[in-house]
Amino acid sequence: MNRYDRLIGHVSKPPLSPFIPSRKEECGVFGVFGNPDAAKLTYFGLYALQHRGQESAGIAVGDGCQIKEYKHMGLVNDVFNEDRLKSLKGHLSIGHVRYSTTGSSLLANAQPFLMFHGGEYYAIAHNGNLVNAVQLRRELETQGAIFQTTMDTEIVMHLLARNLIYGLEEALVAALTQIRGAYSLVMCTRNRLIGIRDPRGFRPLCLGKLNGSYVLASETCALDLIEATYIRDLDPGEVLIIDDKGFRSLHPFPKVRPAHCIFEFIYFARPDSSVFEQNVYMFRKRLGHIMARENGSLTADLVMPFPDSGNYAALGFAEASRIPLEMGMIRNHYVGRTFIQPSQAMRDFGVRIKLNPVRELLRQKRLILVEDSIIRGTTTRTRIKALRQAGAKEVHMLVSCPPHRHPCPYGIDFSTKGELIAASHTVDEIRSFIGLDSLKYLSIEGLLEGAGASVDDHPYCLACFNGDYSVTFEEQVRKDCFEQHEP
């Protein structure tokens, strides 16, 4: 029994990670080349990336002759056990954890997606969202393509298969030039591992090394868990091919201005990760410092976050403002993520059982709450009500990003304008709806300052704040995104 076998027993049934946030999000991808424990390493990589998706998990493993896969609905540690991993033998592997931003929540849509074509196996896992998927799918079906899933990822495989007569590299380039949107892909054949980022670099993907093995991961926290050394981020538009000779890169796209999703920093990524070559913890803490400067006249008895999303900006705000930091709400980490429940009534119940106020601490206190974002406002409203019932005298809220006024078609699950309370309400209306004494958002200038950039020169996508979409999308996506509903 090696050290990975021993570790699997220790993490088989843990409480949920304290870093797991509470809204829908996209996915996490992982890959290993050149290690006999590829499946086990991928298991641990996915375990570290569990915060990026809790709907399904899957692993595909190649041994030079074939690719085997196993995937199912549920958490990584529920889907896989020692016996299951032992059956996945091979030296290269890819894995995926999913929350559905495109495609229904069904086992058929779990990834990796595996196909056998022309005597070769191909497996692929995708983080992101294609904005021309409807058009491409319609064209492919007209030409005779038969789809097994509702995933946009399957579109990539159909495009790839149609060009494989020219070789894998040429087929990849041909397929990638037809798709638009956000994608970080890991892909494998029986003897190659491939990592791909879209030309704008919306989603993160990094390369690491473990002894003589190479590793691809959505976030560096996955490298840390398996003790791999970070090498670098893949460049936007890069196709990285790893085989027995090492790795080499293709850059088939013309260079364009990057559009890294800044919400990865604000919310998605684990605080111990580095994404887009910046540490997430330090970024969030800097936002707290900047909020203290932008709201210098605001006073209170204590600063507190809603755990865990506001923790690090609250630390920064308390440090800069010199107002004491307290954990006025305690989180029950044994409660699942509240968005999983299908009804709003059940979601609200999940909010109440997840966070409980410390009444003795909060009674007759003026509070400054720090939160990372407000999307629909319903969850925040329930939490503020609990603080009022606990005896809080005043409740002020600071949000460590600007208001979300525009939907995201690139893989974040606030894909329609009607889901965003700030799209149809003023800040004062939101304040009144939630039940606050005051509400302040971080400015776009302050957000970019925290990322070490300026309004005039930055590599980030801010479309959910300012509506500046760097990749245009088809009319069906526009209709779906901008249909207005009252939140």
pLDDT tens by residue, 396-427: 999 999 999 999 889 876 656 778 999 999 99
The lowest-confidence range among 278-287, 346-355, 470-479 is: 346-355
Q: What is the dihedral of CA 303, 309, 216, 60, to 10 degrees?
A: 150
What is the crossing angle of helices 153-161 and 168-176, to 10°? 130
Assigned CATH class of 278-452+465-482? alpha beta
Nearest residue to 94 via CA among 72, 122, 125: 125
Would you list the domain boundaries of the chain? 3-256, 278-452+465-482
Catalytic residue among 27, 188, 221, 481: 27
Judged against a pLDDT cut of 50, whether residue 28 lies above it is answered with yes
The lowest-confidence range among 106-115, 173-182, 351-360 is: 351-360
Is-catalytic flag, 65? no
Distances (CA, A) of 236 to 96, 185, 200, 405: 21, 12, 6, 27
Q: What gap in Å lies between CA 58 and CA 30, rounded to an integer?
A: 10
pLDDT of the residue at 444? 97
pLDDT of the residue at 418? 73
Q: Which residues are annotated as a binding site?
A: 261, 408, 461, 464
Assigned CATH class of 3-256? alpha beta
The DSSP symbol for 19 reads T
Judged against a pLDDT cut of 90, whether residue 12 lies above it is answered with no
Judged against a pLDDT cut of 90, whether residue 16 lies above it is answered with no
Average predicted confidence (pLDDT) for the chain: 88
Using DSSP, state whether 233 is helix, strand or coil: strand
Q: pLDDT confidence of 25, banded at 50, 70, 90? A: very low
Contact 321, 303 (CB under 8 A): yes
Per the listing, tokens 């990834």 go with 111
Q: What gap in Å lies between CA 67 and CA 65, rounded to an integer?
A: 7
- Measured on CA atoms in the order 128, 130, 131, 137, is the torsion positive or negative? negative
The two three-digit tokens of residue 440, written as one number: 């302040």
The lowest-confidence range among 47-56, 350-359, 394-403 is: 350-359
Q: pLDDT confidence of 349, banded at 50, 70, 90? A: low
DSSP string for 163-179: TGGG-HHHHHHHHHTT-
Judged against a pLDDT cut of 60, whether residue 272 lies above it is answered with yes
Q: Which residues are annotated as a binding site for [4Fe-4S] cluster?
A: 261, 408, 461, 464
Average pLDDT over every residue of 290-299: 97
- The yes-or-no answer to whether 3-256 and 278-452+465-482 have a common fold is no
